[in-house]
Chain A
Amino acid sequence: MIGTLLHYLEYPFVRYALVVGVLIALCSSLLGVTLVLKRYSFIGNGLSSVAFGAMTVATVLDMTNEMTLVLPVTVLCAVLLLSAGQRAALKGDAAVAMVSVGALAFGYMLMNIFSTSSNLSADVCSTLFGSTSILTLTIREVVLCIVLSVAVVAAFVLFYHKIFAVTFDESFAQATGTNARAYNLVIAVIVAVIIVLAMNLVGSLLISALVIFPALSAMRVHKTFLSVTICSAILSVACALAGLLVSILGGTPVGSTIVAVNAVAFGIFSLIGRLKGGVSRG
């Protein structure tokens, strides 16, 4: 098996896939805690549907670089969904659900009307569940992914304490002079970039799993914000690596394999948490 693996690693597209997979996993786990605690677990689905809708529009318009449309549209939607949070007429999950199914329906319709491809359902399936396109990345896409990942990680580190303050107690932060609204915007933008990045890896339907599973697992065992954040980052990278390797060796679909590994990790962490809790209580 090791031999097969080394053999595969000689191909650049396999190495690209591993690099991109690890980076995406790292980024997507960072804001998991914040999103779970702000009751926005499903934001990933909403935004990736938006990205899907934007992508179909870009395809119909025959744009050469789809990102120039997809990224701004997704960022805009993230800002609207996250920042209008408390005061909007539509509360959190309802708004997310509405945007999500709306954009999905719209995108699918566009694809149906304008599609030139002969195999429409395969196209749709791959956008929803993650394509094998992670294995066909060009060097340009890899570079773009690296640049965006570095930006996301840097922004997260620089805003770490502010994100904590705004997530833990938004009204206290606002009352004592932190510009909570601005930092909610920062969070929204980071989330949008992560979603657009991660869509390639696991697809629209599975993206929430990548965002929230590592955070939820880490929260079973760890009790402070810092340790949860670090643990979920490491866990997410490990699960992505394991999932990628399994899917390369076993020929399983990339996205669902990674999510399955995350689900198993969640089970293990829950068990550890239960055991630890039992010991410290008893």
Chain B
Amino acid sequence: MALLTVQDLTLGYEGRTLVSHLNFSLEEGDYLCIVGENGSGKSTLMRTILGLQPPVSGQVLFREGLKSSHVGYLPQQTPIQRDFPASVEEIVRSGFQGRCGLRPFYDREEKAMARENMERMGVLDLRDRCYRELSGGQQQRVLLARALCAARKVLLLDEPVSGLDPKATGEMYDLLEGLNREGLALIMISHDIGAALTYASHILHLGQQVFFGTREAYQNSAVGRRFVEREGDSL
């Protein structure tokens, strides 16, 4: 059975439908990119998959045994108050909260893994720094390290490279590719169609026309060709 199945899902707000009757599924090890114009409902879909908001109709099914505590998430905009006093390490460790259940403290293994994830994201040196004093790109990496702590099967990323410089963007894509090779399924929202066509195994296109399929199929579809052309022009 697929890791995650979206069945006949309709999304919208207050009577306005954004996406109707969407069907797709995600297998283990898939790398799914969600593309589409601003306001086409990409973030809404991701939040619905995560159970943060209810769909208009339809459902999202997880494979048996897969719980939300196996999912990592990098939000598009974090509604974190600007003046929150928290160190990088405290934030990264909080990624383990979902699997803690009622256990009050983090165990040694979790602390070690938090360290490892900070090292991977290149923020280990910053671990005692205050989050709000970091640059936007550094903050993004800290949140990704936190998401890695939470992700055991699936990682959902909402525009992970927005605000990163070209070098950090390249590193981010390499890192995600590595994680995907290790078996983590990825769902990534991206406006970078070039990267989507380079790294993704599957593409979901939201908009007036909806498309779901493998990367090759997308490149050969009418929707895909038009979108790639337009995005290419706007670059």
At the interface, yes or no: B136 with Cβ under 8 Å from chain A? no
A163 to B50, CA, bound (A): 21
Residue tally, chain B, CB below 8 Å to A = 39
With contact pairs A165-B94, A168-B91, A171-B52 given, residues A176 and B86 touching in the complex (Cβ less than 8 Å): no
**Dominant SS among interface residues on chain A:** helix
- Find the B residue at minimum CB distance from A33: B85
Contact A161 B104 (CB under 8 A): yes
- Which of A33, A37, A176 touches B97 (beta carbons < 8 Å)? A176
The minimal Cβ–Cβ distance linking B118 to chain A, given in whole angstroms, is 15
Chain B CB within 10 Å, residue with most, of A33, A170, A173, A227: A173
Contact of A172 among B78, B83, B90, B106 (CB under 8 A): B78
Instruction: Determine the chain B residues whose CB is within 8 A of the CB of A39 once the complex forms.
Output: 81
A154 to B146, CA, bound (A): 27
The distance in angstroms between the C-alpha atoms of A223 and B85, with both chains bound, is 5
User: Are the CB atoms of A169 and B98 closer together than 8 Å?
Assistant: no
A226 to B85, CA, bound (A): 9
**B13-21, B65-73, B186-194 - the one binding chain A:** B65-73
Q: Does B216 contact A (CB under 8 A)?
A: no
Q: Taking each of B84, B87, B95, which has the highest tally of chain A beta carbons within 10 Å of its own beta carbon?
A: B84
- Report chain A residues within 8 Å CB of B93: 161
With A169-B78, A175-B73 as given contacts, are A225 and B97 in contact (CB-CB < 8 Å)? no
Contact A177–B68 (Cβ < 8 Å): yes
The answer for the CA separation of A190 and B87 in the assembled complex, in Å, is 25
Q: Closest CB of chain A to B55's CB: distance in Å?
A: 15
B-contact bits for A150-171, CB 8 A (1 contact / 0 none): 0000000111111011011111
Taking a contact as CB atoms under 8 Å apart, the answer to whether A224 and B75 are in contact is: no
Instruction: Kindly list chain B residues whose C-beta atoms are within 8 Å of the C-beta of A194.
Output: none
Could you tell me which A residues sit within 8 Å of B by CB distance? 33, 37, 39, 157-162, 164-165, 167-178, 219, 222-228
Q: Give residues in B with beta carbon < 8 Å to A.
A: 47, 50-52, 67-73, 75, 78-81, 83-87, 90-91, 93-95, 97-100, 104-106, 128-130, 133, 146, 150
